[in-house]
Amino acid sequence: MTVGFIGLGKMGGPMAANVAAATPGLVCFDMAGTDDRLPAGGVAATSVADVAARCTTVLISVPDGAATQAVAEAILATDQPVVETLIDLSTIGPQAAVRAAELLAPAGITYCDGPVSGGAAGARAATISLMFSGPTAVLDGQRALLESFTGNIFHVGEHAGQGQAMKLANNYLSATALAATSEAVAFGAAHGLDMATMIDVLNVSTGRNSATVDKFPNRVLTGSYDAGFSTAHMTKDVGLFVDSAAAIDTADVVANAVATTWRGCDAALPGSDFTEIWRYVSTPKT
């Protein structure tokens, strides 16, 4: 098995670095410039086609479904590609994953989606969780590779798109918890309550959640706002959840309200860390 990695950005870069440390000769490519982002021990490719002509397994970490489709099309356009398995670590939504799988299947290429959770810090530390959907045999054959850059691997389904569904469900709940906690803390502050005291109370009460346990004590109370995941990316993921829920006609009333809040935050605080939604929610609206 020869391995390639496409997409060396904020998440892809550290993941590729961990893969390269365990996989000598990892072939890497990034549209924004491979040489500047090449991990130690990696080998620079000149294009997606170059990766496809050299690697039997390809990992990709790209911004959206359109980018995944562009990679798939470039692989199919390659003269004599050797790719057998493509594992998509991106968050692109179930529909985009299914389209990519259908596009690659006639060429004998197995597409698996394995979106990750844990942020840039988790990617650097190789502690991120991976939600794999694809054939059991493929996961068994790729497990050692996946373990080189993850802390937890969950096989959530056999079919393309199921990993995406799991990731969107997770990020929707994370986004909801952070937005709702911000509103609750703003409500308490308006009544003269101390933020730190509120967080202490919530964490031993029924309001405890990922925002009270982690985001507020470690990112908001400290003023660091450095979770390493952007408001823009969270807004995108909640939007994908809403779109996917609409496509299969599941409940989305709360999701639409959460999406509206995140879109407002992204517009008001461009380039912000997603923990800065506290600043958006707590700012007087008049």
Q: Apex CA 176: angle with CA 170 and CA 182, to 5°?
A: 140
**From CA 68, how far away is CA 91, in angstroms rounded?**
10
Question: CATH number of the domain at 3-159, please?
Answer: 3.40.50.720
Domain ranges of the chain: 3-159, 165-282
pLDDT per position in the chain (286 positions), as tens? 799 999 999 999 999 999 999 999 999 999 999 999 999 999 999 999 999 999 999 999 999 999 999 999 999 999 999 999 999 999 999 999 999 999 999 999 999 999 999 988 899 999 999 999 999 999 999 999 999 999 999 999 999 999 999 999 999 999 999 999 999 999 999 999 999 999 999 999 999 999 999 999 999 999 999 998 999 999 999 999 999 999 999 999 999 999 999 999 999 999 999 999 999 999 987 6
Residue 86's DSSP bridge partners are: 58, 111
**From CA 179, how far away is CA 107, in angstroms rounded?**
44
Question: CATH number of the domain at 165-282, please?
Answer: 1.10.1040.10
Q: Where are the beta strands (DSSP E) in 158-202?
A: none
How far CA 246 is from CA of 93, 119, 138, 167, 250, in Å, comes to: 12, 27, 31, 17, 6
Q: How many angstroms from the chain centroid is the CA of residue 225?
A: 19
Determine whether 282 is exposed, middle or buried from the number of CB atoms within 10 Å of its CB (0-12, 13-18, 19+): middle
**From CA 111, how far away is CA 155, in angstroms rounded?**
15
Kindly state the helix (H) or strand (E) to which residue 29 belongs, with its residue range. Answer: strand 27-29
